[in-house]
Amino acid sequence: MSTVASERDLCFMSIADLAPMLKAGEISPVEVTRAMLDRIDRHNEMMRVYITVTREQALEQAHQAEAEIKAGNYRGPLHGVTVSLKDNISTQGIRTSCASMVKTDWVPEQDATVYANLRKAGAILVGKANLNEYAFSMNPNFPPPLNPWHLERSPAGSSSGSGVGVAAGMVHGSIGSDTGGSGRAPANVNGCVGFKATYGRVSRYGVFPLSYSLDHTTMMTRTVTDSSIMLQATSGYDPLDENSLGADVPDFAAKLGRSVAGMKIGIARGHNYSDVDEDVIRTVAAAADTFRSLGAIVEEVKLPYVEYCLDTYAATMNPEVATIHYDNLRSTPEGFGQRARNRLDLGNLVPATAYVHAQRVRKLMRDGLREVFKTYDLIIGPASPLITGGAGEDSRMVNGVEVNSRDLGDGYTNYYSLTGAPALVLPAGFSHEDTPIGLQIAGNWFDEATILQGAYAFEQATSWHTRQPPYPMDAS
């Protein structure tokens, strides 16, 4: 593109809008890729979206895609579209740092399955996205990305680079990981879509683990349709992933555009609404009214055993992450940031009885949620009880009470991580401080298509997804 304005339009274009232009030859994959790489070159130093930019590989892939499309070998809607990968996802011959000093120069010998599937679909990798250290702790050696709506606010994590990259027009779509909300939380605060499919739907092979029983691979996109496109390309059984499930892969876009009239939707009131910011309460109530206006039946529902969610998550995740890093922590403790060491030490202190009890509670949650979905098609609720806070903050005041923002912030996402049910976050409003607020939509196991149906209906009935952040600023 010849001008910054037209380049910006191209970089902010949805995958669904860009794909037919690429297929028809109205624009070339090389042109798209150069535009995105140029934008990354201008803004990555400030925004810190990427740890590694794969310029040379991206241009090679773009030229290949251009030749294939011209020859009539069109692979589908990701062919010639730029993507990024959270930098804990293995890429053959490309550094995969996990934002850690221990693995800062690690170059994998093979691709993660999720990336191999994207390559088969013709997607073009422009870079490895920034993240929290090993996807769970802040690290001064890899400063976090900046929130494109307010630079001093948190970008959330741990898939921060993926969320900021999509929201700031520095990639068309990204793959993150989500253990307790690590993909949905950045979608919430950066104003994009984050979709964690059913546990086992998308392969985790080649994604550096955080928690054996909680890790999911996540789609990060600008729109709901784009999320369905990326999920379609990356889903399916993988014999290399012991937790991969052999369920049939449906057409995830089949229900997009269908009416939600008559659909039964529950509003999950969560743990304790006294801990929920008034702006979040207002946003969820407005979303419920939107669904009612579309003909859905919306009523409150209690999530079974939700009051045990935070303790169950901690008793599961902390010992699992400590087990994963056990050897490295003892051989090279200096390679971990202080926060990471503290978290790992804590995990080693969790008694086995606590871990076993947590798994029993998870079964009760799953069984109870299964009963809920016999009545309701979808469950909606806050993505977080809090509006976007300051970068690095540990606590804040909510309704006159000081709360632990780090723990409380995950309370609405990790319920669906503990149960393995699919959940999506999409833009649903803005706070009085003009920061994005997301709505979480959850559905029954392996029924991602109904979540996408509901999310698409809401998206089309509102305009929140059309807003673009003020940063990074382009020269006029």
Given the residues 158, 162, 227, 431, select the one marked as catalytic.
158
DSSP category for residue 468: -
Domain 4-466, architecture per CATH: Alpha-Beta Complex (3.90)
The pLDDT assigned to 270 comes to 58
Please give the Cα distance from 386 to 389 (Å, whole number).
8
Given the residues 86, 128, 196, 255, select the one marked as catalytic.
86
Using the predicted structure, report yes or no on whether residue 162 has a pLDDT greater than 60. yes
Q: Pull the structure tokens for residue 162.
A: 């993926």
Please give the Cα distance from 340 to 135 (Å, whole number).
10
The pLDDT assigned to 10 comes to 96
DSSP E strand stretches across 11-98:
50-53, 82-86
Share of the chain above pLDDT 70, in %: 95
What Rg, from alpha-carbon coordinates, does the chain have? 21
54-64 per-position pLDDT tens digit: 999 999 999 99
Q: Pull the structure tokens for residue 304.
A: 């079974």
Give the residue carrying structure tokens 């794909």: 19
Q: Pull the structure tokens for residue 263.
A: 């659909």
- Could you please report the per-residue DSSP string of 12-36? T--HHHHHHHHHHTSS-HHHHHHHH
Please give the Cα distance from 62 to 36 (Å, whole number).
12
Using the predicted structure, report yes or no on whether residue 383 has a pLDDT greater than 70. yes
The pLDDT assigned to 279 comes to 95
Of 84, 235, 94, 113, which is closest to residue 172 (Cα–Cα)?
A: 84
Question: Averaged over 263-281, what is the pLDDT?
Answer: 82
Using the predicted structure, report yes or no on whether residue 410 has a pLDDT greater than 80. no
**Residue 271 — very low, low, confident or very high, per pLDDT cuts 50/70/90?**
low
**Angle, in degrees to the nearest 10, between helices 448-461 and 224-234:** 160
Given the residues 159, 182, 235, 417, select the one marked as catalytic.
182
The pLDDT assigned to 378 comes to 99
Please give the Cα distance from 190 to 444 (Å, whole number).
26
Residue 158 annotated in active site: yes
Using the predicted structure, report yes or no on whether residue 179 has a pLDDT greater than 80. yes
Q: What is the reported pTM?
A: 0.96
Tell which phi-psi region holds residue 440, choosing left (phi > 0), alpha (psi between -120 and 50) or beta.
Answer: beta
Of 57, 7, 13, which is closest to residue 31 (Cα–Cα)?
A: 7
Using the predicted structure, report yes or no on whether residue 404 has a pLDDT greater than 80. no
The pLDDT assigned to 4 comes to 40
Question: Averaged over 430-437, what is the pLDDT?
Answer: 97
The pLDDT assigned to 381 comes to 96
Q: Pull the structure tokens for residue 267.
A: 């509003």
The sign of the torsion formed by the CA atoms of 209, 210, 214, 217 equals: negative
Average of per-residue pLDDT values in the chain: 94
Using the predicted structure, report yes or no on whether residue 5 has a pLDDT greater than 50. no
What is the DSSP pairing of strand 401-404 with strand 395-398? antiparallel
The answer to whether the peptide bond before residue 158 is cis (omega within 30 degrees of 0) is: yes
193-238 per-position pLDDT tens digit: 999 999 999 999 999 999 999 999 999 999 999 999 999 999 999 9
Between the alpha carbon of residue 178 and those of residues 198, 216, 328, 436, the distances in Å are 12, 5, 23, 20
Please give the Cα distance from 435 to 389 (Å, whole number).
9
Listed in sequence order, the residues at least 6 apart from 187 whose beta carbon sits closer than 8 Å to its beta carbon are 163, 193, 194, 220, 383, 425, 426, 438
Instruction: For the beta carbon of residue 64, count every other beta carbon within 10 angstroms.
Output: 15
**Residue 21 — very low, low, confident or very high, per pLDDT cuts 50/70/90?**
very high
> Worst-scoring range by mean pLDDT, 97-106, 346-355, 398-407, 456-465?
398-407
Instruction: For the beta carbon of residue 274, count every other beta carbon within 10 angstroms.
Output: 11
